[in-house]
Structure 1
Amino acid sequence: MSAPTLSPPLNAIPADIRNAQDYAALAPHFLPPSHLAYISGGSGYGHSVAANATAFGQWAITPRLLRDVGHGHTRITLAGEAYAHPLFLAPVGFHKLAHANGELDSARAADATDTCMIASTQSTFPLEEAVAQQRWFQLYLLPRRDDTLHLLRRAEAAGYRAIVLMLDAPIQVVNRRAQAAQFQMPAGCVNVNLRGYDTTPRFAGNGPGESRFFQGAMRGAPSWDDIRWIMRETKLPVWVKGVLHPDDAVALRDAGVSGIAVSNHGGRSLDGAPSGLDVLPAVRAAVGADFPLMYDGGILSGSDAFKALALGANAVAIGRLQLYALSVAGALGVAHMLKLLREELEICMAMAGCATVGEINGGALLRQTRRDAA
Structure 2
Amino acid sequence: MTLRELHETARKMLDPVPYDYVAGGAGEERVLAENEQAFDRYLLLPRVLCGSEERDTAVDLPGGRRAAPVVVAPTAFHRLVHPDGERATARAAAAEGAVMVTGTAATTAVSEVVAAAREAAADPAVWFQLYLHPRREVTEALVRRAEEAGCTALVVTVDSPVFGRHTRDLRNGFTDLPPGHAAENMRDLPGAGPGALTDIPMSPAVHWPDFAETVRSTSLPVLVKGVLHPDDARLAVEHGAAGVIVSNHGGRQCDAVPATVDCLPAIARVVAGRVPVLLDGGVRRGSDVAVAIALGATAVGVGRPVMWGLAAEGEAGVRRVLATLRDEYDHTLALCGGRRNTDLTAGSAVRKGGTW
Q: 1:263 to 1:91 in 2, by over 3 A?
A: same
* Partner AA of 1:83 in structure 2: R
1:225 pairs with one of 209, 216, 228: 209
Question: How many residues end up aligned between the 2 structures?
Answer: 338
Q: Distance in 1 between matches of 2:283 and 2:8?
A: 14
Q: Distance in 1 between matches of 2:51 and 2:40?
A: 28
- Counterpart of 2:196 in structure 1 is none
Q: Distance in 1 between matches of 2:274 and 2:345?
A: 13
1:189 pairs with one of 171, 177, 181: 181
- Counterpart of 2:121 in structure 1 is none
| Mean CA deviation greater in 105-114 or 58-67 | 58-67
- Counterpart of 1:332 in structure 2 is 316
Q: 1:113 to 1:219 in 2, by over 3 A?
A: closer
- Counterpart of 2:132 in structure 1 is 141
Larger relative helix fraction: 2
User: Following superposition of structure 1 onto structure 2, how do residues 84-95 of structure 1 map, counting pairs within 5 Å?
Assistant: 84-95=67-78
Give the deviation of 1:65 after TM superposition: 2.3
Q: 1:250 to 1:192 in 2, by over 3 A?
A: same
* Partner AA of 1:253 in structure 2: V
Give the deviation of 1:189 after TM superposition: 2.4
The answer as to whether partners of 2:63 and 2:125 remain within 8 angstroms in 1 is no
Moved over 6 A (4+): none
Give the deviation of 1:220 after TM superposition: 4.6
Q: Distance in 1 between matches of 2:95 and 2:164?
A: 36
Give the deviation of 1:258 after TM superposition: 0.9
Q: Distance in 2 between matches of 1:338 and 1:106?
A: 11
Query: SS state of the match for residue 129, structure 2?
Result: strand
Verify: 1:165 aligned to 2:156, yes or no: yes
Q: Distance in 1 between matches of 2:151 and 2:63?
A: 14
Where does the alignment leave 5 or more consecutive residues of structure 2 unmatched? 118-123, 194-200
The answer as to whether partners of 2:132 and 2:139 remain within 8 angstroms in 1 is yes
CA RMSD of aligned residues (A): 1.9
Q: Distance in 2 between matches of 1:70 and 1:98?
A: 40
Verify: 1:365 aligned to 2:349, yes or no: yes
> Percentage identity across aligned positions?
38
Q: Deviations over 1:182-214 (max 9, x none)?
A: 43532222101101124569xxxxxxxxxxxxx
Q: Distance in 1 between matches of 2:264 and 2:8?
A: 27
Give the deviation of 1:321 after TM superposition: 0.7
- Counterpart of 2:168 in structure 1 is 177
1:96 pairs with one of 79, 92, 113: 79
Q: Deviations over 1:156-206 (max 9, x none)?
A: 1111111100111111122112323443532222101101124569xxxxx
- Counterpart of 2:120 in structure 1 is none
* Partner AA of 1:305 in structure 2: V
- Counterpart of 2:95 in structure 1 is 112
- Counterpart of 2:249 in structure 1 is 265
Q: Distance in 2 between matches of 1:350 and 1:175?
A: 40
Give the deviation of 1:29 after TM superposition: 1.0
Q: Distance in 1 between matches of 2:297 and 2:214?
A: 25
Q: 1:103 to 1:218 in 2, by over 3 A?
A: closer
* Partner AA of 1:67 in structure 2: C
The answer as to whether partners of 1:167 and 1:222 remain within 8 angstroms in 2 is no
2:260 pairs with one of 252, 260, 276: 276
The answer as to whether partners of 2:72 and 2:99 remain within 8 angstroms in 1 is yes
- Counterpart of 1:285 in structure 2 is 269
Verify: 1:236 aligned to 2:220, yes or no: yes
Q: 1:77 to 1:363 in 2, by over 3 A?
A: same
- Counterpart of 2:305 in structure 1 is 321
Q: Distance in 2 between matches of 1:101 and 1:221?
A: 36
| Mean CA deviation greater in 239-248 or 249-258 | 249-258
Give the deviation of 1:90 after TM superposition: 0.4
The answer as to whether partners of 1:239 and 1:258 remain within 8 angstroms in 2 is yes
Query: SS state of the match for residue 123, structure 1?
Result: coil
- Counterpart of 1:305 in structure 2 is 289
TM-score by length of 2: 0.90
Q: Deviations over 1:271-300 (max 9, x none)?
A: 111111111001111121343101011111
The answer as to whether partners of 1:88 and 1:315 remain within 8 angstroms in 2 is yes
Give the deviation of 1:146 after TM superposition: 1.5
Q: Distance in 1 between matches of 2:324 and 2:202?
A: 41
